[in-house]
Amino acid sequence: MDHFNYHGGELWAEDVPLARIAAEVGTPVYVYSAATLTRHFGLFRQALDWTEHLVCFAVKANSNLAVLKLLGDLGAGMDVVSGGEYARARAAGVPGERIVFSGVGKTLAEMRQAIEGGIRQVNIESEPEMRALSDLAAGMGAEVPVAIRVNPDVDAKTHEKIATGKSENKFGIPIAKARQVYAEAASLPGLRVVGVDVHIGSQLTDLEPYRAAYAKVAELTRALRADGHVISRLDLGGGLGIPYRRDNNAPPLPIEYGQVIRETVGDLGCEIEIEPGRNIVGNAGVLLSRVIWLKEGEGRDFLIVDAAMNDLLRPAMYGAHHDIVPVVEPELGAALRPVDVVGPVCESGDTFQKAAELPPLGAGDLVAFRSAGAYGAVMASEYNSRPLVPEVLVRGDQFAVIRARPTFEEMLARDSIPEWL
């Protein structure tokens, strides 16, 4: 469920017509619904209300400060994977004790930043990282809570570029080696082992890979406790999928995901941490774009819009699908025609959808790319020297620009020409 619906023949975000935002802010522009963000976050808390837990929003999905503040004010923790994301979470008012630092390549500078600024836990991904963190923490006179990320070698049956739990992936420590690594962690100064971390991938639409991975985590937890470790937290990752196609079967609900957690690890008495990102923010956002031209080609027609692959990279990078809908609601039974929806960037890969069935559209008409709230704006760039796409947050009948579109002058001012040129 989201809060982007047709009213009076026009697509609205909550109580604001999208055409009004397009007129005042320009296009392309991302538009987020505060009501949808609030509802989706609440569903995950409800799914875990049977136990002590913390729902940590995966900042990599959408790192806008307003989005982070909204979720943080609701009680969300934050899962960060870089020093920049950590700084954003803190700037949004999230305290360090609600921030989990993940990521396979943490630098010493990022580790120091987390120790100095406060951190709930660091999820360790390798033995060299563990030893470096120990040396740094001990030298600072600090003790850092840590969980070790284990790789359970479970196929999440998702896109190969977002699978993270198979043995060939770069993430985590092989679960067969975990007891040895935990033994070393317990002996190192500056570290305090508190839990086990696992994350098997993103956009999962089947709960069985979770069940398989969490069963292995439960077995490992019992073994670690038998070895004398105090395991009080289980960080079970995120990755629950969303319905990018409205005509497909919906992925599992958060409440069903929570039940799998309960059935697999609920008897261990651990605090549960999860790190949803896409499922909270994905359907809470649309990318609003305006048609530049309808171009007739040889055997196909092209709907050229002012959004491009630099604004929404997922279709070019992953072959991902986003439903594309006109902002003006088509009449019931309106004739549809196949068109390739493309952007203006000088790449053949700048194609959003081939043979999209759309009503007749022409220059000036508005379209919305649905389910664009996750991995949209955060992956955007200024390729072809196109200004970075702005973002807007809607709440009820109010909206505000939460990241402005830079001017050409602002873009140029970031470069400098050496005196010797």
SS3 of 420, please? coil
347 known ligand binder: yes
Query: What is the rounded distance in angstroms from the CA atom of residue 415 to the CA atom of residue 148?
Result: 41
252 is in an annotated binding site: no
**What is the DSSP track for 322-377?**
--EEESBPPPTT---EEEEEE-SSSSTT-EEEEEEEE----TT-EEEESS-SSSSG
Q: What are the φ and ψ backbone dihedral angles of 308, each rounded to 5 degrees? A: -145, 180
Residue 59, both tokens: 């900042």
275 is in an annotated binding site: yes
Residue of 226, 346, 417, 421 marked active site:
346
Tokens of 335: 């004739």
Is 128 labelled as part of a ligand binding site?
no
Does 383 show up as a binding residue in the annotation?
no
Say whether 278 counts as a known binding-site residue: yes
Instruction: Give yes or no: 346 in active site.
Output: yes
Which position has the token pair 């470096």?
A: 132
Query: Which residues does residue 357 pair with via DSSP β-bridges, in sequence order?
Result: 338
Task: Tell me the longest C-alpha to C-alpha distance in the chain.
Answer: 71
> Residue 391 corresponds to which amino acid?
E
Query: How do 301-305 and 285-296 pair as beta strands?
Result: antiparallel
Pairing state of beta strands 285-296 and 29-33? Answer: antiparallel
Nearest to 304 by CA among 341, 329, 270, 334: 341
Give the separation between CA 278 and CA 203, rounded to whole angstroms. Answer: 8
357 assigned ligand-binding residue: no
Question: Is 227 in a helix, a strand, or coil?
Answer: coil
Binding site for substrate: residue ranges? 278, 314, 318, 347, 375
Which segments are annotated as binding site for pyridoxal 5'-phosphate?
A: 239, 275-278, 375
Q: What are the binding residues?
A: 239, 275-278, 314, 318, 347, 375
Active site residues: 346
